[in-house]
Amino acid sequence: MAELIAFPRGVPPPESFPKEELVTSARNVILNEGDQILQYGGSMGYLPLREWIADNFDTQPDRVIVGQGSLQLLDTLIKTSLLPGGHVFIEQPIYDRVLTLFKRGGAEIHGFMLREGSVDLGEIELVLKKGVIPAMFYVIPDFQNPSGAEMPLETRKGLIELANRYDFLLIEDGAYRHLRYVGEELPRLYDLDPEHVLHMSSFSKLISPGIRVGYMVGRKDLIETLASYAENTYINASYINQAIISDFIERGLMDDHIDFLKNLYLPKWKKILEALDLYMSGLGEWIEPKGGFFTGVFLKNEKSLPDARTLQDHGLMLMDGCGFFNEGGDNFIRLPFAAPSFGQIETGVRTLAEIL
Amino acid sequence: MAELIAFPRGVPPPESFPKEELVTSARNVILNEGDQILQYGGSMGYLPLREWIADNFDTQPDRVIVGQGSLQLLDTLIKTSLLPGGHVFIEQPIYDRVLTLFKRGGAEIHGFMLREGSVDLGEIELVLKKGVIPAMFYVIPDFQNPSGAEMPLETRKGLIELANRYDFLLIEDGAYRHLRYVGEELPRLYDLDPEHVLHMSSFSKLISPGIRVGYMVGRKDLIETLASYAENTYINASYINQAIISDFIERGLMDDHIDFLKNLYLPKWKKILEALDLYMSGLGEWIEPKGGFFTGVFLKNEKSLPDARTLQDHGLMLMDGCGFFNEGGDNFIRLPFAAPSFGQIETGVRTLAEIL
């Protein structure tokens, strides 16, 4: 049997890792700053990196916490801010790991469908008007995982307006924001309202997932609460990893590296859109992503993804769409295009169309 | 004013960090294994390191999980195994951060005093006989933080017997076990009963705290539960850090490095015991530790540690003893001796005696 074509999680390909430069950065920071970074540290994270992040958000480092990936920080936020039975609003589909965290936290989850790439503000306000105010509303405005959607500017503004009127916190996950292949950058929700938005992001898609460095930027009191809980949980996330990234940035490598990544992913992005047009037109609808790692196909005519065993018999590995939904999702397929090769993208999409 | 003499947390001195060797290991693993370790990984941790740990415990890697420090793994254990109101047994004094975790988990905490370096088995059985069975009993048998006590062999055997008779889990924290300055090694609780003991330890005191690599060894079902919760919380702890330690070990550097550490700490250990004899004999009692980072002084005649401000006015920084007790602790002083210099140890203990 041919090799299994995996459209797995949102992983970058190994050729995207700047190994040589990471070796240099590791050497720099261990030798020059070893006394500090090999020691315990404060749970807010390594200051030079927090300063760089703060600059990027036009704010101060006391509004920035760095941890072992942004998911862990979100888990900490849930543990400190969400009571069991508390309301959480999400887009549907949603990044499956975040859905798991909300479920584990005992949240009452309200999913708002992405229709043509956007949630419906009216639908959201209907719920708010009933007095159902969420502890948090989690969104990925830029190149959403798993659908690839980009939140329109009017939706961004509308969400901020609702967050102000009904006083709730928007969690903006910006993991893919810097990987734009076409179109003009839209403002972050955070830029529109730093008091009602907590921005989370990481270096997993920009440098390496394995380095496990993510961050949150938001209201000082929230960041302090996170830092206190983090200290009591794991003392601090490794400064070595954070300092390596900071050194990589200080040496001026980040912009070129992001360009390198875009050049690596752009042809794959083109390839999957071509393959979808060629093979899937009659079977489903999808959002043409302007960046990121994913496109998501919504199957038409009540079709659904065959089970994992059937897929495997045809040489495919795909995640069950239901994992991205609080309810439903049978007809959804996430297609990550950053890691597979051109041949795998072509064959994978064609095979998928054949068995649907 | 003179520089503040800090007897702070259990931190190693910067001169203990093997910087050059860590640079070499970082280079080795990023260049040779970058495709794997810079990627996401399984939440159990980097296999070669888990294999080495398993060998050390005469078991298989499926009984080993590696995480971002052992405290985080303990937090995960508490979140997965301890219901609010569940019973937890501890030694008193106890490592303060662990006490915080148990309190946060809503545990009903039962503290058993260390008397002449050991808990009293009869006292423990009295509670067990009442039907109060703990979800876990946390102990540091080797060079306890904060008292320096070593659990006698008969206490180790007795605890195992109780754990079997009443069916509860012993959590054995071995963070300081490898730093023995005098005497013969006693068996780990884990060695006496791998089914009733979960051993936790880390490389914080052997290589670097900042590298944030700790582990747990125990029953397969427990380890699997931890791994599943960990994956849903932070995906995985950084394999880079784990691979660096594994490479350091594979290059045969660990034994020599531990000898280096012992040679670094042994004179400080002598120094603090001399200073205590000289200045504190009339004021308190302490355990002469056979290894580790700490000795703990129990003040006599209802004396207690002055407040932080008074201490600071005399050039001292010490942790409040009450943090190491579920109740009481006014008369307890933890004295960490690994990080301060000889002069700081001498002056610090003398000053402390003067103001008591």
* Res B116: pLDDT: 86
ipTM topping 0.90: yes
Q: Is the pLDDT of residue B3 over 80?
A: no
CB within 8 Å: A238 and B212: yes
In this complex, is the C-beta atom of A38 within 8 Å of any C-beta atom belonging to chain B? yes
Tokens of B128: 């067990």
Nearest Cα residue to A102 out of A155, A68, A139, A52 = A139
Of B9, B12, B237, the CB nearest to A212: B237
B39, A210 contact by CB (below 8 A): yes
Task: Extract the tokens encoding B64.
Answer: 């080993």
Do residues B80 and B229 lie in contact, with contact meaning Cβ atoms separated by under 8 Å? yes
Nearest-by-CA chain B residue for A230: B72
Strand B214-217 relative to strand B294-299: parallel, antiparallel, unpaired?
Answer: unpaired
Min Cα separation A156/chain B (Å): 28
Q: What are phi and psi of A39, to 5 degrees?
A: -95, 170
CA distance B201 to B208: 13
Residue B209 to residue A35, Cβ atoms within 8 A? no
* Domains, chain B, ordered by start: 5-15+255-355 (3.90.1150.10), 19-250 (3.40.640.10)
Q: Are B340 and B15 in contact (CB under 8 A)?
A: no
pLDDT band at B1 (very low <50, low <70, confident <90, very high): very low
Give the nearest partner residue to A34 out of B19, B97, B240, using CB atoms: B19
Q: How close is the nearest chain A Cα to the Cα of B22, in Å? A: 8
Q: For the segment B237-293, what is each residue's pLDDT rounded down to a tens digit?
A: 999 999 999 999 999 999 999 999 999 999 999 999 999 999 999 999 999 999 999
Distance from CA of B235 to the nearest CA of A (A): 8
Partners of residue B68 in chain A, C-beta under 8 Å: 68, 212, 234, 237-238
pLDDT at A2: 53
User: For residue B232, which residues of chain A lie inside 8 Å, CB to CB?
Assistant: 97, 100-101, 104
Hey, are the CB atoms on A212 and B238 less than 8 Å from each other? Answer: yes
Tens-place pLDDT, residues A127-168: 999 999 999 999 999 999 999 999 999 999 999 999 999 999
Establish if B39 touches chain A: CB-CB under 8 angstroms: yes
Of B72, B232, B239, the CB nearest to A234: B72
- Considering only CB atoms, B71 lies closest to which of A23, A210, A235, namely A235
Say yes or no for a CB contact (<8 Å) between B233 and A34. no
Interface probe with B: pick from A37, A47, A233, A242, most Cβ of B within 10 Å = A233
Q: Which helix (H) or strand (E) holds A65?
A: strand A64-67
Task: From first to last of the 356 residues of chain A, give the pLDDT tens digit.
Answer: 456 777 767 799 999 999 999 999 999 999 999 999 999 999 999 999 999 999 999 999 999 999 999 999 999 999 999 999 999 999 999 999 999 999 999 999 999 999 888 999 999 999 999 999 999 999 999 999 999 999 999 999 999 999 999 999 999 999 999 999 999 999 999 999 999 999 999 999 999 999 999 999 999 999 999 999 999 999 999 999 999 999 999 999 999 999 999 999 999 999 999 999 999 999 999 999 999 999 999 999 888 988 989 999 999 988 999 999 999 999 999 999 999 999 999 999 999 999 98
d(CA B332, CA B318) in angstroms, rounded, equals 11
Q: How many CB atoms lie within 10 A of CB B251?
A: 12
Which residue(s) pair with B291 in the sheet? B180
pLDDT given at position B53: 98
CB contact under 8 A, A30 and B23: yes
- Residue written as token pair 């889990």: B169
Average pLDDT, whole number, for chain B? 96
Lowest-pLDDT choice from A157-161, B142-146, B203-207, B341-345: B341-345
pLDDT band per the 50, 70, 90 thresholds, residue B2: low
Mean pLDDT of B134-148: 97
The pair of structure tokens assigned to A312 is 């495997």
pLDDT at B348 over 90: yes
Q: Residue B314 has what DSSP assignment?
A: T
- Residues 40-79 of chain B with CB under 8 A from chain A are 40-41, 68-69, 71-72, 75
Listed by number, the residues of chain B in 318-337 with a beta carbon closer than 8 Å to a beta carbon of chain A are none
